[in-house]
Structure 1
Amino acid sequence: MALLITDQCINCDVCEPECPNEAIYMGTEIYEIEPGKCTECVGHFNTPQCVEVCPVECILVNPEWQESKDDLMAKYRQLTGKFDAAIAAAAASAAAEPDQSNAKAASPV
């Protein structure tokens, strides 16, 4: 899920610098959040930092942009280019293993 800033925003400027993905920007009248960049701080922090600092509590879950925690983590990885060491190690291990798909065809019967 991405977050959404409601029209109760007072343009106090505290949320924008807190966003690690630079998803928050000044819109026509109030700050807005680019859903394609918002990970709810998954991968960076345990809680959305903009929600933590908003003095009027006007940042909510965007009902039109539903994503699971796995989706948010995948978005984080895409945006940052960072991958967990375990995932990278598993991928490297899988790439290093010889292809066994033709082993039966090549062995004598």
Structure 2
Amino acid sequence: MKTLFSLAAIALISYCSLWPQASLKKGQTPQNHTVEIKQLKFIPDYIEVNKGDTVTFINRDYVQHDVTEEKAKRWTSGILKKDESWKTVVKGDEDYFCTLHVIMKGKIRIKK
């Protein structure tokens, strides 16, 4: 019984140490993707990434913008002035928008 418990504990610890990268393929490292904000648009407004990748949003516009998760507003960049940036690590499919200019929308999708 003691041995079985020890094996279970080792398996759990091993799994937890790998968990943040569980969706990355063997030997794959997280990538950084860039979305520029300009002319009241997210460019590109649709990207496919791996879970665990980073997306950097850069405001290249002359007006302030933000990047906010659309459905539940679980995360936001806060106000980004010209040439300011904000990063997020992708945990799942996300729809986002600019709360200051609600016509601006984008999507992040996890590669299948």
Query: TM-score interval w.r.t. the shorter chain?
Result: under 0.3
TM-score (norm 1): 0.26
- Higher Cα radius of gyration: 1
Structure with more relative contact order (C-alpha pairs < 8 Å, separation 6 or more): 1
Greater percentage in strand: 2
